[in-house]
């Protein structure tokens, strides 16, 4: 089963291995066991139910909270060759009948619907006639009153499932849920004896920065000018605040989008599409924007106002860096925000919810005012107590620490040295870790090692800098009478056994990941052009991380291109030749420049 799942992963999604937790989740679903999954945004939740959907008989019904979310998901699935449809309020009755008939004729594998549809008995009777093998509930925390985003419509899911003649597998997914919310959600969704996966909440590519009592307008203006060519979201507490900041930036010559519930639907749609299609790079919005938006290359998130709870804050910053690349998160905190959020809670929440909301507000105030590591405080809130006392990726740690934790990177490097039996030099070792199939690597079958490609997201230069630092600190030894051969020592073994942490003073330079900035820019332009020709969003073609790997490895044929993470068969057949041509022309230009 898992072998077939891996084949589907490569064929449609372009990846050769599952992310942490995915394989176990998929295996349990295929064994027809219910699942409750807590996985950080960008961790790959959707793949966990989409791959089983392709392997199970019948259709998978996906319950999705927002129209924009289901449309994005379905567009993305169709783009990679998977049959998917959605039913929501934007469709006519004729459209709905057509989609139901497609489902009956086995022409659809995933059907996305809004939870509100389950309140309609006529609609429920329609889809009861379908063979539903799996019900996947996205944003599962919405069913709990203890959650930060309670939706009454989610309470209809359990009764709908119980009304089906044959009970499907129930799978549920969320990125933000405390232990209390998890238990409540499992009960309210009617999940039986589930496999519960908690993949941790940490997103270490998010840099968390909280700025206290500063000039907010000046900060935003300066920051987005510096990040002119990068995509970012600025969150505000109210519609009035969104409109005010939008006008302020427009008057100063910035081209920005805006989004809130009070906008005309056509205007709201236009602004959202301008942002997703990268016609405009800045989105000023209330929290109504972003849930389920799969735009993978958001490089910064700014909270102009303190959010009303930690769950909302962590969910919103989770919309940045979904491709695994770095994203800077900035919260502009003022004591005046507290009064504003209290007013919003007292005027918009029911009496039963107010006490819960005020309690949650107090927790985010504590976060904003703490001197501790922000990441540790957030993870502790969600019940994850495994984190160190500092992360070196938040503004409190930047102010208090110089050393960074490189334990995981060190373990990958040391494990590779062990598996190659200490027989390779630093250059070959680096190529193995990056997944570059050189002659020596192929001849010695190093490409079959579990450590092959384990650090493909890093540049060769940066891996070598880590190795040099490990040698300098005595965590690794040079072999006698050799130039670049390395061997393990007692400290190395201690690190591999998790008995010792590796703290290094090592800054990741701007070229640590992108080795050829000029080629990367050309590939991004090509991606935007293809998106324009096909009227799809650029990130649906290839993510930034995939383009970075192309720029670094420079594949010039189909075999090399298919080794790039994120390049599947369908996408290669559609787009591969364009990117190969860019790389070939670029290489030729470089060669001519050197010869002249």
pLDDT for residue 440 is more than 90: no
**Pick the residue with more confidence: 385 or 386?**
385
The CATH number of whichever domain residue 465 belongs to comes to: 1.10.10.10
pLDDT digits (tens, 9 = 90+) for 124-151: 998 988 999 999 999 888 888 776 677 8
SS3 sequence of 300-317: EEEECCCCCCHHHHHHHH
Q: Which residues contact 531 (CB under 8 A, 6 or more apart)?
A: 277, 278, 537, 538, 540, 541
- Number of separate domains in the chain: 4
Tell me, yes or no, whether 35 lies in a domain: yes
Tell me, yes or no, whether 264 lies in a domain: yes
pLDDT digits (tens, 9 = 90+) for 270-287: 998 899 888 999 999 998
Do both 231 and 358 map to the same domain?
A: yes
**Pick the residue with more confidence: 291 or 122?**
122
pLDDT for residue 511 is more than 80: no
Do both 298 and 396 map to the same domain?
A: yes
pLDDT at 292: 52
The CATH number of whichever domain residue 551 belongs to comes to: 1.10.150.80
pLDDT digits (tens, 9 = 90+) for 455-509: 887 878 788 889 988 887 788 988 877 767 899 999 899 999 888 888 776 655 4
Tell me, yes or no, whether 479 lies in a domain: yes
Do both 392 and 455 map to the same domain?
A: no
- Give all strands (DSSP E) within 69-122, no chain letters: 84-87, 110-113
Residue 197 pairs in a beta bridge with 37
Tell me, yes or no, whether 75 lies in a domain: yes
pLDDT for residue 235 is more than 80: yes
**Nearest of 564, 568, 550 to residue 453 by alpha carbon:** 564
Tell me, yes or no, whether 260 lies in a domain: yes
Strands 298-303 and 327-333: parallel
Tell me, yes or no, whether 510 lies in a domain: no
Do both 251 and 280 map to the same domain?
A: yes
Do both 214 and 261 map to the same domain?
A: yes
Do both 97 and 118 map to the same domain?
A: yes
pLDDT at 506: 64
Do both 187 and 222 map to the same domain?
A: no
User: Which of residues 130, 163, 198 is at a domain's end?
Assistant: 198
- Report the C-alpha gap between 456 and 553 in whole angstroms: 10
Host domain of residue 114 = 2-198
Q: Tell me the mean pLDDT in the region 210-239.
A: 91
pLDDT for residue 557 is more than 90: yes
Do both 19 and 127 map to the same domain?
A: yes
Tell me, yes or no, whether 536 lies in a domain: yes
Residue 206 pairs in a beta bridge with 327
Do both 126 and 92 map to the same domain?
A: yes
Q: Tell me the mean pLDDT in the region 361-377.
A: 91
Do both 391 and 412 map to the same domain?
A: no
- Report the C-alpha gap between 121 and 142 in whole angstroms: 21
**Nearest of 218, 210, 181 to residue 198 by alpha carbon:** 181
pLDDT at 258: 94
Tell me, yes or no, whether 512 lies in a domain: no
Contact of 170 with 135, CB cutoff 8 Å? yes
CA atoms within 13 A on the CB side of 305: 25
User: Which of residues 457, 473, 504 is at a domain's end?
Assistant: 504
Q: Tell me the mean pLDDT in the region 568-596.
A: 87
- Report the C-alpha gap between 433 and 421 in whole angstroms: 15
The overall average pLDDT reported for the chain is 87
**Nearest of 98, 167, 173 to residue 128 by alpha carbon:** 167
Do both 561 and 588 map to the same domain?
A: yes
CA atoms within 13 A on the CB side of 335: 1
The CATH number of whichever domain residue 75 belongs to comes to: 3.40.50.300
Do both 131 and 11 map to the same domain?
A: yes
Contact of 402 with 505, CB cutoff 8 Å? yes
Cα–chain center distance at 532:
24
pLDDT digits (tens, 9 = 90+) for 50-64: 999 999 999 999 998
- Report the C-alpha gap between 543 and 534 in whole angstroms: 16
User: Which of residues 347, 373, 401 is at a domain's end?
Assistant: 401
Q: Tell me the mean pLDDT in the region 226-251.
A: 93
**Nearest of 178, 202, 197, 180 to residue 382 by alpha carbon:** 178
């Amino acid at each position: 089963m898992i072998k077939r799942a891996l084949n589907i992963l490569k064929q449609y999604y372009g990846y050769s291995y599952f992310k942490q937790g995915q394989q176990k989740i998929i295996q349990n679903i295929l064994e027809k066991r219910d699942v409750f999954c807590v996985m950080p945004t960008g961790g790959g939740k959707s793949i966990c139910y989409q791959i089983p959907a392709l392997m199970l008989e019948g259709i998978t019904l996906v319950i999705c909270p927002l129209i924009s979310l289901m449309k994005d998901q379905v567009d993305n699935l169709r783009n990679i060759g998977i049959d998917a449809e959605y039913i929501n309020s934007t469709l006519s009755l004729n459209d709905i009948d057509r989609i139901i008939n497609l489902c009956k004729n086995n022409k659809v594998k995933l059907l996305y619907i809004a939870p509100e549809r389950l309140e309609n008995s006529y609609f429920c009777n329609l889809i009861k006639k379908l063979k539903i093998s799996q019900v996947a509930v996205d944003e599962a925390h919405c069913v709990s009153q203890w959650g930060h985003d309670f939706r009454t419509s989610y309470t209809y899911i359990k009764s709908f499932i119980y009304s089906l003649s044959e009970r499907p597998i129930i799978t549920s997914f969320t990125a933000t849920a405390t232990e209390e919310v998890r238990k409540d959600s499992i009960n309210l969704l009617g999940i039986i004896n589930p496999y519960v996966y908690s993949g941790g909440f940490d997103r270490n590519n998010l840099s968390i920065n909280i700025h206290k009592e500063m000039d907010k307008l000046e900060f935003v203006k300066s920051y987005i000018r510096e990040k002119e060519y990068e995509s970012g979201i600025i969150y505000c507490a109210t519609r009035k605040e969104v409109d005010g900041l939008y006008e302020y930036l427009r008057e100063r010559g910035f081209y920005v989008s805006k989004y809130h519930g009070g906008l005309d639907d056509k205007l709201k749609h236009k602004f959202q599409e301008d942002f997703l299609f990268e016609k405009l790079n800045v989105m000023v919005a209330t929290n109504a924007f972003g849930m389920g938006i799969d735009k993978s290359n958001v490089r910064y998130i700014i909270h102009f106002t303190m959010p009303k709870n930690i769950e909302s804050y962590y969910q919103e910053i989770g919309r940045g860096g979904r491709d695994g690349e770095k994203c800077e998160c900035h919260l502009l905190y003022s004591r005046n925000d507290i009064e504003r959020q209290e007013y919003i809670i007292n005027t918009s929440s029911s009496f039963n919810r107010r006490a819960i909301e005020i309690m949650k507000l107090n927790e985010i105030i504590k976060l904003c005012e703490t001197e501790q590591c922000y990441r540790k405080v957030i993870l502790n809130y969600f019940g994850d107590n495994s984190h160190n006392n500092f992360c070196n990726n938040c503004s409190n740690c930047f102010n208090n620490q110089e050393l960074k934790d490189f334990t995981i990177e060190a373990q990958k490097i040391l494990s590779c040295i062990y598996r190659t039996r200490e027989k390779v030099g630093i250059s070959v070792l680096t190529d193995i870790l990056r997944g570059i199939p050189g002659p020596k690597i192929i001849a010695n079958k190093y490409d079959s090692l579990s450590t092959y490609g384990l650090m493909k997201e890093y540049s060769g230069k940066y891996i070598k800098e880590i190795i040099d630092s490990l040698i300098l600190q005595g965590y690794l030894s040079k072999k006698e009478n050799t130039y670049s051969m390395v061997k393990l020592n007692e400290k190395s073994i201690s690190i591999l056994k998790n008995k010792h942490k590796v703290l290094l003073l090592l800054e990741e330079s701007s070229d640590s990941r992108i080795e050829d900035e000029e080629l990367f820019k050309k590939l991004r332009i090509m991606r935007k052009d293809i998106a324009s020709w096909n009227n799809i969003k650029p990130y649906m073609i290839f993510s930034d991380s995939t383009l970075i790997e192309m720029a670094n490895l420079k594949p010039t044929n189909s075999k090399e291109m298919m080794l790039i993470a994120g390049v599947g068969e369908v996408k290669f057949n559609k787009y591969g030749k364009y990117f190969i041509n860019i790389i070939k022309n670029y290489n030729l230009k470089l060669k001519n420049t050197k010869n002249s």
